[in-house]
Amino acid sequence: MKQKFSKQDVKFTKEEVLYDGFFTMKRFTFEHKLFAGGWSKPVAREVMVRGDAVCVLLYDPKVDKVLLIEQFRVGAIKHDSPWLLEVVAGMVEEGENDEDVARREALEEAGVQVGRLEYMFQFLPSPGGLIEYLRMYAGEFDASQVNLNNHFGLAEENEDIRLHLMTAQEAIGLLETEIDNASAIMALQWLALNKAKLREKWGY
């Protein structure tokens, strides 16, 4: 196997904060080793910097149902409708672990208590211009406790969230017709591949 580069094979020579608001934008100047040997010329790149986030696919193994949320996303303004079907998600705040985030966000965004959590994987959503890891989980919940007539989210965060409860198969089927945001796609694909194993692990 060929040599694998690491962080030690990058030289950062300058870091500038260009903007610090809801997101932080930085410009990094750096050089890195080349596959053919030697070092690159200095490169400058603007990068959005965010903290890590946790995403939770709410799944009730007893009745084989999934709970998705729907909310407006300004980054989807080129979409036919910028209201997207998503999984519950939230930023990891200082002092929190992933389980804290999963339980807090499930309550805030969907009004449900999460039981067991099953780790899926982590991924970089856009490594060419964004510093952030998303960590994905399946979260056990009780579908009988869902109130579809209520709207959720925090007013101080300008959230306005509607719930959608459906069978796992219906949710997976939406991958072909409606769902096109990365975290929901990957969560539902993971469920399609691992549902039987997860149900067995959780005793169903």
| Backbone phi and psi for residue 141, each to the nearest 5 degrees, phi listed first | -145, 170
Instruction: Check residues 120 and 22 and name the one with the higher pLDDT.
Output: 120
For the beta sheet containing 10-20, the strands, ordered from the edge strand earlier in sequence to the opposite edge, are 10-20, 24-32, 43-49, 130-131
| Average of per-residue pLDDT across 57-61 | 98
Q: Give the pLDDT mean for 128-133.
A: 94
Share of the chain above pLDDT 70, in %: 100
Q: Which domains does the chain have, with CATH numbers?
A: 7-49 (no CATH), 53-121+135-201 (3.90.79.10)
Mean pLDDT of the chain: 95
pLDDT digits (tens, 9 = 90+) for 149-195: 889 888 888 889 999 999 999 999 999 999 999 999 999 999 999 99
Q: Catalytic residues, which ones?
A: 157
Check residue 1 and give its pLDDT.
Answer: 64
Residue (of 148, 74, 157) closest to 108 by Cα position: 157
Share of the chain above pLDDT 90, in %: 87
Distance of CA 157 to the CA centre of its chain: 18
Per-residue pLDDT at 157: 83
Cα angle at 93 between 19 and 153, to 5 degrees? 90
Summarize the confidence of residues 99-104 as an average pLDDT. Answer: 96
pLDDT at 60: 98
First to last CA, the chain: 42
Per-residue pLDDT band for 3 (boundaries 50, 70, 90) equals: confident
Q: DSSP for 99-147, please give it.
A: HHHHHHHHHHHH------EEEEEEE-S-TTTEE--EEEEEEE--GGG--
What is the pTM (predicted TM-score) of this model? 0.92
**pLDDT of 5 over the 80 cut:** yes
Q: Which of 182, 153, 178 is nearest to 83 (CA)?
A: 178
The 3-state DSSP composition of the chain as helix, strand, coil percent (nearest 5) reads 25, 40, 35
Q: Per-residue pLDDT averaged across 95-119, rounded?
A: 96
Kindly indicate the confidence band of residue 39, based on its pLDDT and cuts at 50, 70 and 90.
Answer: very high
